[in-house]
Chains A and B, each alone.
Chain A
Amino acid sequence: MIRLYDYVLSASCYKVRLMAALVGVKMDHEAVDFHPGRAHKSLEFAQLNPAGTLPVMVDGAMILTESTAMLVYLAKRAGSQWLGPDDAKSAAQVQQWLAFSGRLAASLGMARLHDMLLYQGDIDAWRKDGHAALRELEAALTERRFAGGDWLVGDAPSIADIACFPNVALSQDGGVSLDAYPSVRLWTRRIRALDRFIEMPGIHRLHELSPAPKVA
């Protein structure tokens, strides 16, 4: 059984929980007292992950400490449909978005930790970088819509979408509104509408849109 060292409020941990749920892989969860205990910075935890970050995935002798690597592992185990199309360009684009998700964590993710759990730092810079990343995402998703596409790469949702989704969907927690990004909002709805989607605090499930309310 895969073991996930997990924190309920972490966007990166949720990324992995969501992927596992979508592909139907069961995991054991070990709750880590990230806040207020800062157990991820303890000496004991450093034996597992010297970087002192969450999540950590352990499967037998394999230890993964990068959430995007965990997405690849889960997706590959479940077949290949979540890895994106198997051509050179698509494969490169998926990697591009996986790396891009790190920029989202370093901007929107930090703004959220600042506003919610009182992390110290340059909040204005985090929000500014967050908006810059969202503009890029908005442009890419709008291009995809013009071309008839719903997802970041290819014709189906992939690890690229799942990697970018959490910090975008939680951006409001850090004082960054998605009002100016309609393609991004539509895309987050698409992800929330996926079969076997799971929520986390701050990301609510999609409520039933039908039956439609009567308009007088």
Chain B
Amino acid sequence: MIAQQVLNEWYPVAMAAQIRAGQRRVTQLLGQPITVDLQKGAIVVTGQGGALHVTEAYGHVWACPGAPAHDLFPIPEASEPGRRLVDVGVVRVKCSPLRAVENFLDIAHFPFVHTDVLGAEPHTEVNRYEVQIREDSDEVWATKVTFYQPQAAKSSEGGIVTQYMYRVAAPTAAVLYKTCPNRTDAWDVIGIFVQPLSEELCDVWPWMALYDDVSPQAELIAFQQMIFLQDRSILENQIPRLLPLDPGMEIPTQADLTSIAYRRWLKKRGLTYGAQMVAA
């Protein structure tokens, strides 16, 4: 039995461009079969009990299997003129959808998993940063994050200290804002939209809104896929498989503040699909 608050959230279920091109997607959401297709020019998501609530945003189709508790979260940058919007495409990962989000929020693994790209030894220290659960938007935010990166983006030339902000905008969607190598007055925006197929299997849709007039689209996609696929084999081997929301065997450190806030936020809101409540 899936909790009503889980059903009342929005989840990504397809890349809008692929559905609009006539590709029907037969998939799964929260363990239930669904179909995403185009009917008379409108994108429709159909489950066993009929049509689901649908919205289209940030290159993707979002569905809510219950009664939407709120609108889909805003990403104002998505409509800023001059940004390149990049649909990176689906990658399936055999892990809890919550673990996929948590990994996206983690900085400490950069030098070890994304070696010579998003981090490098000996620059392994995660400097202090701030985390808050914003009551007005009901989102988790990490700010004032800084990290030394050898190649922060496709358009980077040489290492820089990159600034980051992280934002959990929905139970299975997070957005990060990072220093844009080409613009000092704007952030690059990268989202990770996770479709929970089951509690231990997900389809992950990375998405980007960048200021980069130079890099070919294929290279922007390849760069982000390279990063995410470096994470995939790690994610598939994390134990316990479900994300523990109660403290137990794990000992978090200062660097894990965002993850701790994300887990508390999930627990407080009862968003426990893909989580385990008993101490690991």
Among A32, A36, A173, point to the contact of B90 (Cβ < 8 A): A36
Chain B residues whose C-beta falls within 8 Å of the C-beta of A39 in the assembled complex: 218
Contact with A along B215-238 (1 / 0, CB 8 A): 011110111011111101100100
* Interface of chain B residues 92 through 124 with chain A (CB within 8 A): 92, 94, 115
* B91 CB–A CB distance under 8 Å: yes
Q: How large is the interface on B (under 10, 10 to 19, 20 to 34, 35 or more residues)?
A: 20 to 34
What CA separation (Å) do A32 and B15 show in the bound complex?
Answer: 19
What CA separation (Å) do A31 and B225 show in the bound complex?
Answer: 12
* A116 CB–B CB distance under 8 Å: yes
Among A8, A31, A36, point to the contact of B89 (Cβ < 8 A): A36
What CA separation (Å) do A26 and B125 show in the bound complex?
Answer: 34
Query: Is B226's CB under 8 angstroms from A117's CB?
Result: no
Chain A residues whose C-beta falls within 8 Å of the C-beta of B226 in the assembled complex: 8-9, 200-201
Cross-chain pair count, CB within 8 angstroms: 65
Among A35, A36, A116, point to the contact of B232 (Cβ < 8 A): A116
* A172 CB–B CB distance under 8 Å: yes
Among B88, B219, B222, B232, point to the contact of A202 (Cβ < 8 A): B232
What CA separation (Å) do A172 and B234 show in the bound complex?
Answer: 11
Q: B203 — nearest CB in chain A belongs to which residue?
A: A118
**Could you tell me the distance in whole angstroms from the C-beta of B229 to the nearest C-beta in chain A?**
3
Question: Contacts A172-B233, A201-B226 known; A117 to B90 CB distance under 8 Å?
Answer: yes
* Interface of chain B residues 220 through 274 with chain A (CB within 8 A): 221-223, 225-230, 232-233, 236
* B18 CB–A CB distance under 8 Å: yes
Question: Contacts A31-B219, A33-B221, A36-B89 known; A201 to B15 CB distance under 8 Å?
Answer: no
Among A31, A115, A204, A205, point to the contact of B222 (Cβ < 8 A): A31
Query: Is A7's CB under 8 angstroms from B222's CB?
Result: yes
Among B89, B92, B218, point to the contact of A115 (Cβ < 8 A): B92
**Could you tell me the distance in whole angstroms from the C-beta of A173 to the nearest C-beta in chain B?**
7
Chain A residues whose C-beta falls within 8 Å of the C-beta of B216 in the assembled complex: 31
Query: Is B225's CB under 8 angstroms from A201's CB?
Result: yes
Chain B residues whose C-beta falls within 8 Å of the C-beta of A205 in the assembled complex: 115
User: Dominant SS at the B interface?
Assistant: helix
* B200 CB–A CB distance under 8 Å: no
* B199 CB–A CB distance under 8 Å: no
Contact with A along B196-218 (1 / 0, CB 8 A): 00000001000000000000111
* A148 CB–B CB distance under 8 Å: no
| Central interface residue in B90, B216, B225, B226, by most chain A CB within 10 Å | B225
Chain A residues whose C-beta falls within 8 Å of the C-beta of B37 in the assembled complex: none
Chain A residues whose C-beta falls within 8 Å of the C-beta of B227 in the assembled complex: 201
* B188 CB–A CB distance under 8 Å: no
* A211 CB–B CB distance under 8 Å: no
Q: B25 — nearest CB in chain A belongs to which residue?
A: A118
**Could you tell me the distance in whole angstroms from the C-beta of A6 to the nearest C-beta in chain B?**
8
What CA separation (Å) do A37 and B15 show in the bound complex?
Answer: 11
Interface residues of A, Cβ cutoff 8 Å to B = 7-9, 31-33, 35-37, 39, 115-118, 172-173, 175, 200-202, 204-205
Interface residues of B, Cβ cutoff 8 Å to A = 15, 18, 87-92, 94, 115, 203, 216-219, 221-223, 225-230, 232-233, 236
Q: A173-B233, A200-B226 are in contact. List 20 more A-B contacts (CB 8 A).
A: A7-B222, A8-B222, A8-B223, A9-B225, A9-B226, A31-B222, A33-B217, A33-B222, A36-B15, A36-B18, A36-B87, A36-B221, A117-B92, A172-B236, A173-B232, A175-B94, A201-B229, A201-B232, A202-B232, A205-B115
